[in-house]
Structure 1
C-alpha cells in the first residue's frame, strides 16, 4: 500500500556541525538575526526565530576546528531559511550588503525569490520568500513551472526602503 506523508508535515530544524561556535553565532545571530535560545556547555548552541525551541542547532562535537566539507562530496547542499514576506527578505539582504558579506547567488524561481551565501564553515545558506501560491507559474498541464532566472537585486533592495 502506498503511503503519502501528511500535508502539514514540516521540516522542523537543521543541526549543523561547525568548527567554531562563537564564529557561527556571530553569523547566524549577529548578522542574520536569529536569537540564542540555549547552549550545551561550550560545544553546542541552539538558535531560533520567534521564540521557537530551535530552528538551527550548531555543534562542534565532531568538528571543532575542522576544515569545511569538500564542495564535491556528499552532504548538505544548503539550509533554506524561509522569510514571511518579500520585505523581510529585502531587509535581510540589505543587512548582508551593508556588512559586505559575500553573496554566492540570487535567483527568481517563479515560486520564490532567493539569495544564496555560505556560512563561516562554507555550509550553503538560502534566504528566500515564497510568492503566494496563487501566483506560482504553471505549465500548460497544470504542474508547477519552476525555473532559475536572475533576481533583480536592486528591486529587492528597494522593497526595504
Structure 2
C-alpha cells in the first residue's frame, strides 16, 4: 500500500493573482491604503505588488475583467485573500490606518490562534488582515486538536498596541 503523501511543512501560499475591473482603483487600495509596493507593471493591464521586496505577493490584472462588475457573492470563487502581519502591533497600525481613512470593515474576529480584520477591496474581493498568536498560545481541545473559534475582536484593546 502506498504511503499517504503529506505536503512539506515549509510549503507556503506564495501569491494570489486577482482579476480586477480598474487597475488604478485597485492600486489605490492595495498600495496607497494597505501599503504594498509595486515590483513590476505590465502596461495598463497588470501590476505585481509585494511587501519587503518579494517578487510579488499579489498580482492584479484586467486581462479578462476590465470594467467588469464584481463577482456574485452567492457563487463559487475566492472567499478572501488573507494577509498575515508579523505582530499584533502591525495589525493595530493597519487597523488605525483603515479607521482614519473611514474604510469599512465587514468583520473583526478573535479566532484563538489569530486575530483578524475583514474587509472588501474595491471589486468586492474579500480581504483578511491578521496576525497569528505564537503557536504555544494556540488553544487546544482535550484531544490535542486546535480549538479555533470566532469571537468579537477587542478593537479598543488592539488600538492600545499603538501606545506601547
Q: With structure 1 as the length reference, what TM-score do the two structures score?
A: 0.99
Q: Which of residues 126, 129, 140 is equivalent to 1:127?
A: 129
Separation of aligned partners in 2, 1:9 and 1:113: 22
Counting only pairs closer than 5 Å after superposition, residues 7-156 of structure 1 correspond to structure 2 as 7-156=9-158
What is residue 5 of structure 1 aligned with on the other side? 7
Q: Secondary structure of the equivalent of 2:162?
A: coil
Aligned-residue offset at 1:29: 0.4
| CA RMSD of superposed structures (Å) | 0.5
Aligned-residue offset at 1:160: 1.7
Deviations 1:131-153 (A, max 9, x none): 00000000011110000000000
Runs of 4 or more off by more than 2 Å in structure 1?
Answer: none
Aligned-residue offset at 1:97: 0.1
Separation of aligned partners in 2, 1:105 and 1:60: 28
Paired residues, number: 161
Aligned-residue offset at 1:81: 0.1
Q: Secondary structure of the equivalent of 2:136?
A: helix
Deviations 1:59-89 (A, max 9, x none): 0000000000000000000000000000000
Aligned-residue offset at 1:41: 1.1
Aligned-residue offset at 1:18: 0.2
Q: With structure 2 as the length reference, what TM-score do the two structures score?
A: 0.97
